[in-house]
A and B are shown apart, each in its own frame.
Chain A
Amino acid sequence: MTKLLQASMDGVAVGSLYALIALGYTMVYGILKFINFAHSDVFMLGAWFSFAICGFLGYTTADHPVYAALVALIGSMAMCGALGFTIERLAYRPLRGAPRINVLITAIGVSLLLENVGQLNSNKFLAEYGIKFPFGTRPTSVPLLLPDQPLLSFALDSAHPNTLVNVLPVDVLVIGVAFTLMALLQYLVFGTSLGRAMRAVSYDAKTASLMGIDVDRVVSITFVIGSALAAAAGFLYGQKLQSLRQSADGLWVLLGLKAFVAAVVGGVGNVRGAMAGGLMIGLVEQFGAAYLSTNLRDLYVFSLLIVVLLFKPEGLLGKAVVEKV
Chain B
Amino acid sequence: MSLASYGKPASPAVVAVDALGPFAGVAVLVLLMHFVIGPAVGPYYAKILVDIAISIVLAVSLNVVNGFTGQFSIGHAAFMAVGGYTAAAITYFGTVKIWGGLPLVHADPQGWGLFVVGTVAGALVAGLFGLFVGLPSLRLRGDYLALVTLGFGEIVRVLLMQTGSIPDPKVIAEAPLYTLPLKLGGSLGFGGVPTYTNLFWAWLWAGLTLVIVYRLKASTHGRAFLSVREDEIAAEAMGIPTTSVKVRAFVLSAALAGIAGALFAHELGTTLNPKELGFQKSFEVVIMVVLGGMGSLSGAVLAAAVLTVLPEVLREFSEYRMIVYALILILVMLVRPQGLFGIHEVWELPVVRRLLGGRGPK
B-contacting residues of A (Cβ < 8 Å)?
34-35, 91, 94-95, 98-102, 104-106, 108-113, 115-117, 119-120, 123, 248-250, 253-254, 257, 260-261, 264, 295-296, 298-299, 301-303, 305-306, 309-310, 313, 323, 325
Stretch at the interface among B82-90, B147-155, B165-173, B207-215: B147-155
Q: Which residue of A lies closest to B316 (CB)?
A: A125
The listed residue (A99, A253, A310) touching B279 by CB distance below 8 A is A253
Chain B residues with Cβ below 8 Å from A301 are 151
Q: Is B329 an interface residue (CB 8 A)?
A: yes
Q: Is the CB of B278 within 8 A of A250?
A: yes
Q: Is the CB of A257 within 8 A of B150?
A: yes
> How far is B162's CA from A104's CA once the two chains are assembled, in angstroms?
32
Q: Is B53 an interface residue (CB 8 A)?
A: no
Q: How far is the CB of B43 from chain A (nearest CB, A)?
A: 29
Chain B residues with Cβ below 8 Å from A91 are 330, 334
Q: Which residue of A lies closest to B294 (CB)?
A: A101
> How far is B195's CA from A291's CA once the two chains are assembled, in angstroms?
42
Chain A residues with Cβ below 8 Å from B237 are 325
The listed residue (B74, B139, B155) touching A108 by CB distance below 8 A is B74
Q: Is the CB of B329 within 8 A of A109?
A: yes
A-B contacts, 14 of them at CB < 8 A, read A35-B143, A99-B337, A109-B327, A109-B333, A116-B322, A117-B323, A120-B319, A254-B154, A302-B152, A302-B155, A303-B155, A305-B147, A305-B148, A309-B148
Q: How far is the CB of B230 from chain A (nearest CB, A)?
A: 11
The listed residue (A119, A250, A323) touching B319 by CB distance below 8 A is A119
Q: Is B310 an interface residue (CB 8 A)?
A: no
Across chains A and B, the number of contacting residue pairs, with CB separation under 8 Å, is 116
Q: Is the CB of A112 within 8 A of B143?
A: no
The listed residue (A100, A109, A112, A309) touching B142 by CB distance below 8 A is A100
> How far is B150's CA from A202's CA once the two chains are assembled, in angstroms?
26
A-contacting residues of B (Cβ < 8 Å)?
66, 70, 72, 74, 136-137, 139-140, 142-144, 146-148, 150-152, 154-155, 158-159, 161-162, 233, 237, 275, 278-280, 283, 286, 290, 319, 322-323, 325-327, 329-330, 333-334, 337
Q: Which residue of B lies closest to A33 (CB)?
A: B143
Most B-side CB within 10 Å, residue of A91, A120, A261, A313: A313
The listed residue (B140, B155, B278, B333) touching A102 by CB distance below 8 A is B333
Q: Is the CB of A104 within 8 A of B72?
A: yes
Q: How far is the CB of A104 from chain B (nearest CB, A)?
A: 6
Q: Which residue of A lies closest to B229 (CB)?
A: A101
Chain B residues with Cβ below 8 Å from A106 are 329-330, 333-334
A35-B146 contact, Cβ under 8 Å, with A91-B330, A112-B326, A310-B136: yes
> Which 7 pairs, one residue from A and one from B, show the smallest C-beta to C-beta distance?
A109-B329, A112-B326, A113-B326, A109-B330, A302-B151, A116-B322, A106-B333
Q: Which residue of A lies closest to B325 (CB)?
A: A112
